[in-house]
Amino acid sequence: AQSVSQHNHHVILSEAASLELGCNYSYGGTVNLFWYVQYPGQHLQLLLKYFSGDPLVKGIKGFEAEFIKSKFSFNLRKPSVQWSDTAEYFCASRRGTGRRALTFGSGTRLQVQP
């Protein structure tokens, strides 16, 4: 069974600081990777996704993620966070074959202080 690990459970940053959230997945075959964000009281929204091609993926709101196959990683980055980035961030994976459901990590709560 595949799994997704997010090692940072709670991150506190000041505005303008750089952000990197870790994500590691376990499946060794073809894999699709996603980052979702959940703002307080809201549903999950897609930030970015990787299916194939360029391992550096750019998403909405200035976020990007890099797929490193050799490290089974898909870390999320943003060069300068804003207070409005305060949210919970979920990494998810999906195997390239078989069932289409996502496997989620446990999430990282980001708190940006003004």
Partner 1 sequence: DAGITQSPRHKVTETGTPVTLRCHQTENHRYMYWYRQDPGHGLRLIHYSYGVKDTDKGEVSDGYSVSRSKTEDFLLTLESATSSQTSVYFCAISESGALSDTQYFGPGTRLTVL
Q: Are 92 and 4 in contact (CB under 8 A)?
A: yes
Write out the DSSP string of 22-52: --EE---SSEEEEEEEE-TTS--EEEEEE-S
CB-wise, 81 or 107, nearer to partner 1? Answer: 107
Distance of CA 71 to the CA centre of its chain: 15
Q: Which is nearer to partner 1, 19 or 50 (CB)?
A: 50
Shortest distance (Å) from residue 33 CB to partner 1: 12
Binding site for partner 1 (CB under 8 A): 4, 6, 9, 30, 32, 34, 36, 42-46, 49, 51, 90, 92, 96, 99-107
CB-nearer residue toward partner 1: 28 or 101: 101
Cα separation, 81 vs 4, whole angstroms = 24
Shortest spacing between CB 78 and partner 1, in angstroms: 20
| DSSP code at position 62 | G
Q: How far is the CB of 41 from partner 1 (least distance, A)?
A: 9
Q: Which C-beta is closer to partner 1: that of 43 or that of 114?
A: 43
CB of 101 to partner 1, least distance (A): 5
Beta-carbon count within 10 A of 35 CB: 24
